[in-house]
């Protein structure tokens, strides 16, 4: 019953009406991109004319356009290499980005909030939106050096949307974040994975598929999730994951495994396939935090659920 209600478009509109203030961030972007819908209505890729990324480093090669760019020199040398390889690889790693003291602070804040029961765990292993509960965590998401890097990669101002904290590995199957957090034009999401402890290979590390961001974006229609005037499409998330798994086999993509030290970060592209490796030792923790960012001035929504994104404190 709940499942049907979540797919019923008038119920989505009602839910959105109750969260009207958090939808205002889309107002100007609807005008900019000529979207003739009300802010409260459901939204999916069917409402847009194309599935092309307009992010500048998808349209041009970072190795060419950033080689002589003065902004490059302000980043550590290994990060400069990552930035230059962005168009080709779809990810970069920044080692020792956060100090051990900052990591200890985040871990302390995360445990404090978890123990307080203020935020409930989702999908068995994720604490969402701890940035709304802790100024220290929120400050990390707004770290000026990080924002400078992400804005350079997207070619637009970025805003944090969501944090996800993990104590253990996610064991999540491979996916592109653009099925969950979607933009029009496409390509304007970017994510940062922060190691909150040294990651052990048995703990279910993050894995990712270098170069997979260049594959076409796989959205609802591409796995048969077809909506009607009244209902959003009826396909499960597992069916999406099956299609991605097939794609990985067909394209013979090889995963890379991220085994960072505490404080290292990995930044990934809106369409880079990634997931969590199986957990070999369930006693091991894998403390980590993901921050998802949108470009500020694009349309932000959730393709899977066909809802516009709610941005707390927007405008
Ligand atoms: O940390 C992981 O294992 C996966 C996280 C992830 O897929 C995500 O946040 O999009």
Q: What proportion of the chain, given as a percentage, has pLDDT over 70? A: 98
Beta partners for 163?
Answer: 291
User: 200: buried, middle or exposed (CB in 10 Å: 19+, 13-18, 0-12)?
Assistant: middle
Per-residue pLDDT at 315 = 36
pLDDT digits (tens, 9 = 90+) for 275-295: 999 999 999 999 999 999 999
Residue from 125, 209, 276 to probe ligand 1 pocket by mutation (most atoms less than 8 Å from CB):
276
pLDDT of 226 > 50? The answer is yes
Calculate mean pLDDT across residues 226-241.
94
Q: Beta-carbon neighbour count of residue 252 at 10 Å?
A: 6
Residue from 290, 293, 294 to probe ligand 1 pocket by mutation (most atoms less than 8 Å from CB):
290
User: Which residue has tokens 């890097």?
Assistant: 149
CB of residue 244 inside a 6 A radius of ligand 1: no
Residue-by-residue DSSP string for 200-244:
PGGG--EEE-TTGGGSPP--GGGGT----SSB-----HHHHHHHH
CB of residue 194 inside a 6 A radius of ligand 1: no
End-to-end CA distance of the chain: 35
Cα three-residue angle 220-223-229, rounded to 5 degrees? 45
Distance 259 CA to ligand 1 centre (A): 14
CB of residue 276 inside a 6 A radius of ligand 1: yes
CB of residue 270 inside a 6 A radius of ligand 1: no
CB of residue 272 inside a 6 A radius of ligand 1: no
In order of 1, 14, 227, 301, 302, the CA distances from 5 in angstroms are 6, 11, 14, 19, 17
pLDDT band for position 5 (cuts 50, 70, 90): confident
CB of residue 274 inside a 6 A radius of ligand 1: yes
pLDDT digits (tens, 9 = 90+) for 151-192: 999 999 999 999 999 999 999 999 999 999 999 999 999 999
Per-residue pLDDT at 121 = 74
Calculate mean pLDDT across residues 115-123.
77
Calculate mean pLDDT across residues 51-57.
97
pLDDT band for position 50 (cuts 50, 70, 90): very high
Distance 37 CA to ligand 1 centre (A): 32
Domains of the chain, each with CATH number or no CATH: 2-308 (2.60.120.620)
Per-residue pLDDT at 313 = 65
- Residues constituting the chain: 315
Ligand 1 atom 10 nearest Cα: 177
Distance 168 CA to ligand 1 centre (A): 11
CB of residue 170 inside a 6 A radius of ligand 1: yes
For 275, the 3-state DSSP assignment is strand
Cβ–Cβ under 8 Å, residues 309 and 300: yes
Q: Phi, psi at residue 97, to the nearest 5°?
A: -70, -40
Q: Beta-carbon neighbour count of residue 72 at 10 Å?
A: 16
Distance 145 CA to ligand 1 centre (A): 22
Calculate mean pLDDT across residues 202-208.
98
In order of 9, 11, 235, 297, 301, the CA distances from 4 in angstroms are 10, 10, 12, 32, 20
Residue from 122, 172, 270 to probe ligand 1 pocket by mutation (most atoms less than 8 Å from CB):
172
């Amino acid at each position: 019953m709940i499942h049907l209600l979540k797919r019923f478009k008038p119920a989505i509109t009602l839910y959105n009406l109750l969260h009207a203030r958090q939808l205002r961030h889309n107002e100007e972007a609807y005008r900019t991109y000529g979207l003739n819908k009300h802010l409260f209505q459901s939204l999916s890729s069917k409402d847009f004319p194309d599935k092309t990324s307009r992010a500048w480093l998808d349209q041009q090669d970072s190795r060419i356009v950033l080689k002589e760019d003065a902004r490059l020199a302000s980043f550590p040398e290994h990060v400069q290499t990552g930035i230059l390889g962005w168009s080709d690889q779809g990810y970069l790693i920044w080692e020792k980005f956060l100090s051990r003291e900052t990591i200890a602070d985040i871990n302390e804040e995360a445990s404090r909030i978890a123990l307080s029961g203020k935020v409930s765990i989702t999908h068995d292993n994720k604490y969402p939106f701890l940035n709304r509960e802790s100024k220290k965590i929120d400050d990390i998401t707004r770290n000026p050096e990080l924002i400078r890097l992400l804005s350079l990669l997207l070619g637009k101002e970025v805003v944090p949307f969501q944090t996800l904290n993990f104590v253990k590995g996610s064991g999540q199957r491979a996916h592109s974040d653009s099925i969950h957090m979607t933009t029009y034009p496409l390509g304007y999401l970017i994510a940062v994975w922060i190691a909150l402890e040294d990651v052990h290979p048995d703990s279910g590390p993050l894995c990712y598929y270098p170069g997979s961001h260049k594959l076409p974006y796989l959205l609802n229609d591409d796995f048969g999730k077809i909506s009607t005037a009244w209902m959003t499409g009826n396909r499960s998330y597992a069916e999406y994951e099956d299609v991605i798994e097939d794609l990985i086999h067909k394209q013979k993509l090889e995963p890379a495994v991220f085994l960072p030290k505490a404080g290292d970060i990995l930044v990934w592209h809106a369409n880079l396939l990634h997931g969590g490796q199986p957990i070999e030792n369930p006693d091991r923790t894998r403390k980590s935090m993901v921050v998802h960012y949108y470009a500020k001035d694009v349309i932000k929504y959730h393709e899977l659920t066909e809802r516009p994104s709610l941005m707390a404190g927007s405008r």
